[in-house]
Amino acid sequence: MMAKRKISLNELSEKVDITLSNLSILKTGKAKAVRFTTLEAICKALDCQPGDILEFVDD
């Protein structure tokens, strides 16, 4: 979605008010959880739905 919206990690970090390192952890899929408020802010900044950026992986 970031590439589609032509927004960098730095820009998204500023718009969502989350640290670059935390956003990077989310982007790489290494996060164990994400707050709904953070997910909402990311979706608003990228003009998308949660399903556009999340994927369920059964371990």
Contacts of residue 43, Cβ cutoff 8 Å, sequence gap at least 6: 49, 50, 52, 53
- Contact present, 45 and 7 (Cβ < 8 Å): yes
pLDDT per position as a tens digit, 12-56: 999 999 999 999 999 998 999 999 999 999 999 999 999 999 988
Q: Determine the Cα–Cα distance for residues 27 and 41; give it in Å rounded to an integer.
A: 14
| Other Cβ atoms closer than 10 A to 42 | 23
Could you confirm whether domain 2-53 is CATH 3.40.50.2300? no
pLDDT per position as a tens digit, 8-22: 999 999 999 999 999
- Residue 50, token pair as written in the block: 């949660």
- Sign of the dihedral through C-alpha 36, 42, 43, 45: positive
